[in-house]
Structure 1
Amino acid sequence: MNDHLDTLKRSLIGGQIDRRGFMTGALAFGVGLSMASSAYAQAEKATPKQGGTLRVGFLQGSTSDSFDPATYNNDFMFVTNYAVFNHLTEFAPGGAIAPELAESFEAEPGAKVWTFKLRKDVEFSDGRKLTAADVLASIDYHRGEDSKSAVKPVLAQIAEMKASDDHTVVFTLTTGNADFPYIFADYHLCIKQASDGKIDPMSRIGTGGYTVESFEPGVRIKLKRRDSYWKEGRAHFEQVEITTISDTAARMNALMTGQVDVVDRPDLKTIHLLKRAPGVRVETTSGTLHYTMPMHVNTPPYDNRDVRTALKLAINREELVEKILRGYGTVGNDHPVAKSMPFFDPAIEQRAYDPEKAKFHLKQAGLSSLDVQLFTSEAAFEGAVDASLLYAEQAKKAGINIEVVRQPSDGYWSNVWLVKPFCTSYWGGRPTPDWMFTAGYSKDAEWNDTKWQNERFNTLLLEARAEIDQNKRAEMYSEMQRLCRDDGGALIPMFGQYVFALRDQVQHGELSEQWNLDSLRFVERWWMA
């Protein structure tokens, strides 16, 4: 009976039958009227519908935000980007990489030459057709000599790219890379219109499902659905309004009182209030999210490996997961490769809280005690201030005195992260070790937030990318994880689940879990019931 109901639900959601057909079919299979009506209500809610206004309350957002894709550095702009623009590829539910503006992609043997075929039915919001010239110019913008784009190091593997016709782009890499299509799903690599081989980085004209009605950086953005959007079954909301509500209590209250429909990063200490609120539900997904405390290894005292090790040993990771994440996560081991990622090495010893061993490493550094400042803000991640204060208490047993310096949320990602030598941060993670290491740990990475330069690591990074033998590749990535853990400047105490809350009328299908909120694509994928 359940199989028959599931078949009818899929037919209803797919538009093959209507309510009469569903009820008739259910009754014919012997399903009672009450059960059939309940099953129809469930299926009807799960059927995407066009219309309505989605109101979103976000923790992040800065007055320095702009439409320059090289500068995107918070969820507000990441989500806006995916609503207004498209990319060559996207993350599908289940973590697979799927074509988006590309119709297909294919590698020659050795994965050094890749051919991307573009869709021919795509138009920008001003009516102009997408061509290969737009793709080349959009990607080239991040590769320029003066580019400060965080994705520049990832694109350094491209030796040559050219258009063989208006809808075909061919990439030749410096070495083979079987993971190459993944990088084009990155939120920086949106495709914008080209003019004389260049893009206007501030342009708001995209191929995405929405156009920009108004934009107040750090405050809100209003989006309107495009009637001519080329993607079938996407961009259901007529309008979308995203507002920065950096105060967590205010953000949660806005959801409970119906002022917004979706909020990110609820306060885990009081999440039980959301779970009890009528018309509200809390959802979680597991991805590669991790919370970090990067130390600049080119700045004293963090330039001393023993000092870095002492700081890593002076934190009680289990206590942070319990008290800060409320169990919505697992302990980290000072490298960014999540258990769900390929080539994660479970044989690497888990670093534990050991104040006495931390004292030993301080002594090795010629110190009997250590005084440092840790810069933090709730903008870094929900609970970052409490995590910093808890860490400061834990570290006292090792003779380490941590002064917690609170910073304003506005401007945190511009004025603190990458600037202060010891701060709190987070990474949404990346789907492959190569991408994660390249984006945040390689020598030329714009987002190398520890300033770490390890010659052996950087050699392995290039070798592992080109290695065809998967066993050898696994050995290389294992060594890289150990180098990060033992020599790197990233203290990574926790991996967390993505937690978000929404009102019951907001519905969605199977979620992509690479990043929060359906891999940041909820605006074009979700709908109002």
Structure 2
Amino acid sequence: MTLSTNRRTLLQSAAAFGTLGVLGLRGQPLKAQTTPQQGGTFRLAINDFDSGETLDPQVNESKFMQNLQYQIRNALIEVGPGGVMVPELATEWSSNADSTIWTFKLREGVEFSNGQPFTAEDAVFSLNLHRGEQSISVIKSLMAGVTDIQATGPHEMTITLSGPNSGFPAVLTMAATVIVPANTTNFDEGIGTGGYILESYEPGVRARVVKNPNYWKEGRAHFDAVETLAIRDVNARTTALRTGEVDAMNAVDATTAQLIQAMPGIDLIQVQGKMHYCFSMNTAETPYQDPDVRLAMKLAIDREDMVSKILGGFGSVANDQPISSAYPYHNPNLPQHSYDPEQARALMQRAGFADHRHVLHVSETPFAGAVDAAQLFSQHAAAAGINIEVAREPEDGYWSNIWGKTPFFASRWSGRANEDLMLTQAYSRESLGSWNATHWDNDAFNTALIAARGEQDEERRRELYWECQRLIYEDGGMIAPIWADILDAKSSNIATGEEIASDWDMDGNRASERWWFAA
């Protein structure tokens, strides 16, 4: 396998740093200072962005936009390290006996950056953006079960659901649910309650925010300013970090991670969590409508080889299921899909597609090394007589023009706060036409998923979520060969908390609020 130009260049440029250190299984330990320091401008390089993005919460998809939204706005609930849900603009929440009515107590004494006080009306307006036929929200499917949202007090909100959902509060952790002032029409003004105030934003290029002097959250938002830079190329991000042009970067290339660790004054951050790299088949299109074809493709990939060559060991073998062992209801009992070229060949022949040309659409946008991974998959599949042609697509617009729009494409899924969010957003009937990129519609899966939401018995809920994973593993359109460790890097003069969040990279996309310059 040939390394891409970017990887080869980085290997050459890093050679001058001498002998490589060896990372432990959990990467380099990070120690927090006792007292966070205030001040300085934090410069953050992000790989995932789009030149057509806006600050409308309905259409937040990229990591650049999630980082920026969390800089200037807050959600009702925050996901902390370990996946624990932490009160943010909501201070507490509770439901009735069957989890169909949820009441949220909201934080008092909070102001938006324009001086307007935060009330329940703002929360109601913000959540209603994601409901109704006219909504263009990326989480519209997750809000489909909401039948009513009411301000039941100046700082109290009540949400009524069409059916039981014991995990509903997790929806309100998502970046799309950040709170804006009621009746906002120009979202690009960036008005919010966050730790920073928007100074400038150029889509697909950069954003700059400055410290909010009236921020309500104690012990957060330590920098005087934050500059978020859109830098797609991993080599360019790495060079910017090495030369001091930026202070942190996301999405380190796993095959060069040890080289980065060896660079003086740079820390590699490794977090094991929920992220999986995958190749997705549109099950509504030929030939991927055929379950034999889908299974053949799952057996035509050498997962151990992927972990070694694409992740450089910074990850583990996955099994075509989206729920990792980091989730409470991970199903550990599914027989491992292993590389079996002969069985893959037989299945493809039985389906009548032995001579089919599979065009795999890919760019580096889904994950660092995606192009190399696609080429490696093509080599694996060739041994089964399966012809995979790799089509490299433009980076800009990949999520909007390629992902979910072509029959066969590279993808990546980061973590969600709970199993229901992950399964609903990516695989349910409710998400067809939005985030269900494989267009998979399975009656048994949808029945089990809905039942799991309202199930009060712990053991029965576990069985239902296990069944959901089994159905995806056996019948779904996702080929998930590897669990990928989250790999970020930062200057050694940046301090962090003792734990780093594992749901997304850059400390849950909240590094700007949680980190600080060391004294």
| Superposition TM-score, scaled by structure 2 size | 0.91
Deviations 1:190-236 (A, max 9, x none): 111113xx654444100101111111111111111110111111110
Q: For 1:252 and 1:71, locate their aligned partners in 2 and report how far apart those are by CA, in whole Å.
A: 29
User: What SS does structure 2 have at the residue aligned with 1:398?
Assistant: coil
Are 1:176 and 2:164 an aligned pair?
A: yes
Q: For 1:413 and 1:392, locate their aligned partners in 2 and report how far apart those are by CA, in whole Å.
A: 22
Q: For 2:428 and 2:34, locate their aligned partners in 1 and report how far apart those are by CA, in whole Å.
A: 43
Q: How many angstroms does 1:368 deviate by? A: 3.0
Which residue is 1:394 aligned to?
Answer: 380
Q: How many angstroms does 1:112 deviate by? A: 2.2
Match of 2:241 among 249, 255, 262: 255
Q: For 2:32 and 2:415, locate their aligned partners in 1 and report how far apart those are by CA, in whole Å.
A: 35
Match of 1:414 among 395, 400, 405: 400
Q: How many angstroms does 1:376 deviate by? A: 0.6
Deviations 1:374-397 (A, max 9, x none): 011111100100000000000001
Q: How many angstroms does 1:310 deviate by? A: 0.8
Deviations 1:316-348 (A, max 9, x none): 111101110111111111120111112111111
From the superposition, tell whether residues 358 and 264 of structure 1 become closer, same or farther in structure 2 (CA, over 3 Å): same
User: What SS does structure 2 have at the residue aligned with 1:211?
Assistant: strand
Which residue is 1:508 aligned to?
Answer: 496
Match runs of 1:150-229 below 5 Å: 150-195=138-183, 200-229=186-215
Q: What amino acid is aligned across from residue 262 of structure 1 in structure 2? A: A
From the superposition, tell whether residues 214 and 202 of structure 1 become closer, same or farther in structure 2 (CA, over 3 Å): closer
Q: For 2:196 and 2:510, locate their aligned partners in 1 and report how far apart those are by CA, in whole Å.
A: 12
Q: For 1:43 and 1:335, locate their aligned partners in 2 and report how far apart those are by CA, in whole Å.
A: 34
Q: Which moved more, 1:252-261 or 1:424-433?
A: 424-433
Which residue is 1:524 aligned to?
Answer: 513
Q: Contact (CA 8 Å) 1:131, 1:166: kept in 2 or not?
A: yes
Which residue is 1:29 aligned to?
Answer: none
Which residue is 1:25 aligned to?
Answer: none
Deviations 1:247-274 (A, max 9, x none): 1111111111111100111122222321
Match runs of 1:85-100 below 5 Å: 85-100=73-88
User: What SS does structure 2 have at the residue aligned with 1:105?
Assistant: strand
Which residue is 2:412 aligned to?
Answer: 426
Q: For 1:51 and 1:406, locate their aligned partners in 2 and report how far apart those are by CA, in whole Å.
A: 42
Q: Contact (CA 8 Å) 1:193, 1:199: kept in 2 or not?
A: no
Match runs of 1:8-47 below 5 Å: 45-47=33-35
RMSD: 1.5
Q: Contact (CA 8 Å) 2:31, 2:496: kept in 1 or not?
A: no
Q: For 1:43 and 1:179, locate their aligned partners in 2 and report how far apart those are by CA, in whole Å.
A: 33
Which residue is 1:36 aligned to?
Answer: none
Which residue is 2:54 aligned to?
Answer: 66
Q: What amino acid is aligned across from residue 505 of structure 2 in structure 1? A: N
Match runs of 1:61-460 below 5 Å: 61-195=49-183, 200-445=186-431, 446-460=434-448
User: What SS does structure 1 have at the residue aligned with 2:296?
Assistant: helix
Q: What amino acid is aligned across from residue 94 of structure 1 in structure 2? A: G
Q: Contact (CA 8 Å) 2:415, 2:502: kept in 1 or not?
A: no
Which residue is 2:7 aligned to?
Answer: none
Match of 1:482 among 463, 467, 470: 470
User: What SS does structure 1 have at the residue aligned with 2:99?
Assistant: coil
User: What SS does structure 2 have at the residue aligned with 1:116?
Assistant: strand
Q: How many angstroms does 1:46 deviate by? A: 4.0
Q: Contact (CA 8 Å) 2:73, 2:193: kept in 1 or not?
A: yes
Which residue is 1:32 aligned to?
Answer: none
Q: Contact (CA 8 Å) 1:104, 1:116: kept in 2 or not?
A: yes
Q: For 2:32 and 2:94, locate their aligned partners in 1 and report how far apart those are by CA, in whole Å.
A: 38
Which residue is 1:497 aligned to?
Answer: 485
Q: Contact (CA 8 Å) 2:37, 2:516: kept in 1 or not?
A: yes
Q: Which moved more, 1:341-350 or 1:269-278?
A: 269-278
Q: For 1:50 and 1:238, locate their aligned partners in 2 and report how far apart those are by CA, in whole Å.
A: 7
Q: What amino acid is aligned across from residue 511 of structure 1 in structure 2? A: I
Q: How many angstroms does 1:497 deviate by? A: 0.8
Gaps in structure 1 of 5+ consecutive residues: 1-41
Which residue is 1:26 aligned to?
Answer: none
Gaps in structure 2 of 5+ consecutive residues: 1-29
User: What SS does structure 1 have at the residue aligned with 2:274?
Assistant: strand
User: What SS does structure 1 have at the residue aligned with 2:175?
Assistant: coil
Deviations 1:353-411 (A, max 9, x none): 10111011112202333311001111110010000000000000111111101112111
User: What SS does structure 2 have at the residue aligned with 1:423?
Assistant: strand
Q: For 1:203 and 1:303, locate their aligned partners in 2 and report how far apart those are by CA, in whole Å.
A: 45
Q: Structure 1 residue runs of 4+, over 3 Å off? A: 42-46, 198-203
User: What SS does structure 1 have at the residue aligned with 2:283?
Assistant: coil
Q: Contact (CA 8 Å) 1:106, 1:115: kept in 2 or not?
A: yes
Q: Contact (CA 8 Å) 1:193, 1:200: kept in 2 or not?
A: no
Q: How many angstroms does 1:157 deviate by? A: 2.0
Q: Contact (CA 8 Å) 1:288, 1:431: kept in 2 or not?
A: no
Are 1:464 and 2:452 an aligned pair?
A: yes
Q: Which moved more, 1:508-517 or 1:442-451?
A: 508-517
Q: For 2:478 and 2:313, locate their aligned partners in 1 and report how far apart those are by CA, in whole Å.
A: 22
Q: What amino acid is aligned across from residue 307 of structure 1 in structure 2? A: V
From the superposition, tell whether residues 241 and 365 of structure 1 become closer, same or farther in structure 2 (CA, over 3 Å): same
Q: What amino acid is aligned across from residue 378 of structure 2 in structure 1? A: A
How many pairs does the alignment contain?
Answer: 486
| Superposition TM-score, scaled by structure 1 size | 0.90
Q: How many angstroms does 1:134 deviate by? A: 0.7
Q: Contact (CA 8 Å) 1:141, 1:199: kept in 2 or not?
A: no
Q: How many angstroms does 1:421 deviate by? A: 1.4
From the superposition, tell whether residues 200 and 135 of structure 1 become closer, same or farther in structure 2 (CA, over 3 Å): farther
Q: How many angstroms does 1:302 deviate by? A: 1.1
Deviations 1:449-473 (A, max 9, x none): 1011111111111111111111111
Q: For 2:32 and 2:401, locate their aligned partners in 1 and report how far apart those are by CA, in whole Å.
A: 48
Structure label with greater radius of gyration:
1
